[in-house]
Amino acid sequence: MQNSRVLITGGAGFIGSELVRQLVAKGIKQVIVVDNLVNGRRENLQDLPVDQVKLVVADIRDVEQMTNLMLDVDIVFHLACLGVRHSIHSPHENHEVNATATLNLLSAAKATGVNRFVYVSSSEVYGTAKWVPMKEEHPTFPMTVYGASKLAGECYTRAFYETYGYPTVVVRPFNSYGPRCHHEGDSGEVIPKFLLRCMAGKPMIIFGDGTQTRDFTYVSDTARAIMMAGFADSAVGQTINLGSGFEIAINDLAQEIASIVGQADVEIIHEAPRPGDVLRLYAETTKARQLLGFKPEITLREGLMKLKDWYLTSEEYPETLLKHEIVRNWDLSEIKL
Ligand X SMILES: NC(=O)c1ccc[n+]([C@@H]2O[C@H](COP(=O)([O-])OP(=O)(O)OC[C@H]3O[C@@H](n4cnc5c(N)ncnc54)[C@H](O)[C@@H]3O)[C@@H](O)[C@H]2O)c1
State in angstroms the smallest separation of the CB of 264 from ligand X.
27
Give 3: exposed, middle or buried? Use CB within 10 Å, 0-12, 13-18, 19+.
exposed
| Rounded least distance, CB 97 to ligand X, Å | 5
* 37 touches ligand X by CB under 6 A: yes
Query: Does 176 help bind ligand X (rule: CB under 6 A)?
Result: yes
Question: Shortest distance, CB of residue 231 to ligand X, whole angstroms?
Answer: 18
CB of 101 to ligand X, least distance (A): 6
Q: Element (H or E) spanning 22, and its range?
A: helix 14-25
CB-based contacts of 208, cutoff 8 Å, min separation 6 = 250, 270, 272, 273, 274, 277
Question: Of residues 95, 150, 197, 287, which one binds ligand X by CB under 6 A?
Answer: 150
> CB of residue 262 vs ligand X: minimum separation in angstroms?
26
Pairing mode of beta strands 248-249, 168-173 = unpaired
- Region near ligand X per CB under 6 A, out of 34-42, 162-170, 286-294, 313-321: 34-42
The 10 Å Cβ neighbour count of residue 139 is 11
Nearer to ligand X (CB atom), residue 84 or residue 198: 84
Q: Which of 32, 73, 76, 81 binds ligand X (CB under 6 A)?
A: 81
Binding residue count for ligand X, defined by CB under 6 A: 30
Q: Residue 271 belongs to what H/E stretch?
A: strand 268-271
Alpha carbon distance 113, 115 (integer Å): 6
- Residue 310 contacts residue 321 (beta carbons within 8 Å): no
* Contact between 157 and ligand X per CB under 6 A: no
| Residue burial 213-242, b: 16+ Cβ < 10 Å; e: rest | bbbbbbbbbbbbbbbbbbebeebbebbbbb
Nearer to ligand X, 82 or 143 (CB): 82
In the complex, what is the shortest distance from the CB of residue 187 to ligand X, in angstroms, rounded to a whole number? 5
Closest Cα to residue 220, out of 17, 4, 13, 45? Answer: 17
Q: Are 119 and 168 in contact (CB under 8 A)?
A: yes
Asked whether position 156 contacts ligand X by CB under 6 A, the answer is no
What's the closest the beta carbon of residue 104 comes to ligand X, in angstroms? Answer: 11
Q: What is the CA radius of gyration of the chain?
A: 19
Does 79 contact ligand X by CB under 6 A? yes
Catalytic residue from among 126, 146, 156, 282: 146
Q: Site for ligand X (CB under 6 A): which residue of 6, 97, 106, 195? A: 97
Binding mask 3-32 for ligand X (x = CB under 6 A): -------x-xxxxx----------------
Task: Judge whether 156 counts as a catalytic residue.
Answer: no
Taking CB under 6 A as the binding criterion, the range among 56-64, 128-136, 310-318, 325-333 that sits at the site for ligand X is 56-64
Query: Can you tell me which of 87, 90, 94, 122 binds ligand X, judged by CB under 6 A?
Result: 122
**Is 190 a binder of ligand X (CB under 6 A)?**
no
Q: Could you say whether residue 90 binds ligand X (CB under 6 A)?
A: no
How far is the C-alpha of 107 from the C-alpha of 175, rounded, in Å? 29
The answer for residues whose C-beta is within 8 angstroms of residue 210's C-beta and 6 or more apart is 249, 250, 251, 254, 268, 270
Q: Catalytic residue numbers?
A: 146
What is the contact surface with ligand X in residues (CB under 6 A)? 10, 12-16, 34-40, 59-61, 79-83, 97, 120, 122-123, 150, 173, 175-176, 187
